[in-house]
Structure 1
């Protein structure tokens, strides 16, 4: 095994670079909206059929990217779809007669 000797400045530069890479990785993990799902992952996540996902694309319900025959969805678009169709729970009062 070879030993590599670094000067103090080289060592500090290396540690700084590692810290920067670590911060970038943490930022990517904190922002799942920037990740993409392929069609199969989207179908499994939403628990829908291939035909339903096709209908949603055709009707403009969800945005998507297509490269060749592969379909991709942004996680932020999936979140937007769910947010736009969110219905708050309502309370009903029962009359006790």
Structure 2
């Protein structure tokens, strides 16, 4: 790991520019609903949206109830499948 030292003024300037850029990026829905436009959702986001412990998602994966894909260390779920399981009552959101 490399350590890079920069002047405080340069860091503050960079930070302000980054904050301006992030303010231009559209915000994700914050009302605990799944974003329908997406086809996949990351596991942590899904657990937070449904107010489920991550262990519950792990159980659904291991039992074969909920299929998933992994990219690196992140686990993704198909939103359409999650919606179907919710409708069938196989996932209880709080």
Normalising by structure 2, report the TM-score.
Answer: 0.51
Is contact 1:33–1:75 with CA below 8 Å preserved after alignment? no
Which residue does 1:42 correspond to in 2?
46
Aligned length: 56
Which residue does 2:58 correspond to in 1?
54
Alignment root-mean-square deviation, CA: 2.1
Aligned residue among 64, 69, 72 for 2:68? 64
4+ runs of 1 displaced by more than 3 Å?
none
Once residues 77 and 41 of structure 1 are traced to their aligned partners in structure 2, the CA distance between those partners, rounded to angstroms, is 15
Is contact 1:36–1:73 with CA below 8 Å preserved after alignment? yes
More helix by share: 1
Structure 1: state its 5+ residue gaps.
Answer: 1-31, 87-97
Q: Which structure has the larger Rg?
A: 1
Normalising by structure 1, report the TM-score.
Answer: 0.50
Once residues 46 and 34 of structure 1 are traced to their aligned partners in structure 2, the CA distance between those partners, rounded to angstroms, is 16
Structure 2: state its 5+ residue gaps.
Answer: 1-35
Once residues 53 and 60 of structure 1 are traced to their aligned partners in structure 2, the CA distance between those partners, rounded to angstroms, is 11
